[in-house]
Amino acid sequence: MGMLKPHLHLLAMEHQRHPIRGRVLTLGQQSIYATLPEARKILQARGVPMAALPEGFDITNKIPAWKGTMWERNTNAQAVLTLMGAKEVVVTDVSDYEGAELLLNLNEPVPDEHAGQFDVILDIGTLEHLFDVATALANLVKMLKTGGQLILIVPASNAIDHGFYMFSPTLLFDYFKANGFDSFDCYLRTGQVNFFSLVLQVKSKLFKYNAVGSGYLLSSQGVGVEMGFFATKREASAVVKKPIQSRYVTSDYWVKSGINMVAKGSFFDRYKKIFRKAREILNRDENLTYLGKV
């Protein structure tokens, strides 16, 4: 679990639509791959109005494994999130080995006492490691206040054995729409997945994911793809709804895609039209907007 500089850019870019405020829950102790001055510089460049840290606020990193490493001088998530407007930061984990205050196994339903307790829930790097994703998502819905902000940053592609799962945007769009959320914003970030890119903080390409489309929007050959997802909870419901993937709900996929499977003409001409149309769909970019490198 860790907040890279590109993640700071994302949080800053979304600070108006999905602000960090009030009581914030982080899934796991978020390691920060930046010093406090570096984090301030990114937030300032993105126009985030920063709060003053209270006198004596602990800005040292909270990752035990970082002691004696090049990352020991980095700051912590509590400092960064407080700068952005958080009044309290609570860390939840399955154990307290990294100093979590709230011990929960998100594979199991959380106790009712935690319902509606948080203004923001932030996860960078936990969801993919939980076996029961359906229960974990239901827990997030339950613990977030109505009007609260949900921020999830998870692997989307080319991260084999990093966790149990990789995620497509349609899962989060469809699930949270079915459960009373809106104001969706989503990004895809591409970059090399290796130790040296982490150490050097190599810049990566950032795309805005505009809407759920016909799929296959971005080839991940040779690079990893990470998704950043932001949403606002608008409704509270006692029953969690389990969606069917939206692109298959209202009409047949092939008809919706516009591929004529019974095109007239010779066998060769018929299938040439089909594959030409398929290539057009695979090459569509209206659902992605390139934003530059971060």
> What CATH number does the domain containing 82 carry?
3.40.50
Q: Where are the beta strands (DSSP E) in the chain?
A: 2-3, 22-27, 31-32, 86-93, 102-103, 118-124, 144-157, 181-191, 205-209, 224-233, 288-293
The pLDDT value given to residue 1: 65
The pLDDT value given to residue 263: 47
Domain that holds residue 64: 2-235+285-293
Residue 230 maps to a domain: yes
State how far the Cα of 145 lies from the Cα of 143, in Å rounded to an integer. 7
Residue 244 maps to a domain: no
The pLDDT value given to residue 262: 47
Residue 264 maps to a domain: no
Q: Please give the model's pTM, rounded to 2 decimal places.
A: 0.84
Cα dihedral sign for 158, 159, 160, 164?
negative
Residue 10 maps to a domain: yes
Residue 202 maps to a domain: yes
Q: What is the mean pLDDT of each run of 10 residues along the chain (294 residues)?
A: 90 97 97 96 96 95 92 96 98 94 96 97 95 97 98 91 92 95 95 62 86 69 82 84 78 49 53 52 63 85
The pLDDT value given to residue 272: 56
HEC readout, 243-270: CCCHHHCCCCHHHHHCCCCCCCCCHHHH
Residue 129 maps to a domain: yes
Residue 139 maps to a domain: yes
The pLDDT value given to residue 214: 66
The pLDDT value given to residue 283: 46
Residue 194 maps to a domain: yes
Please tell me the total count of domains within the chain: 1
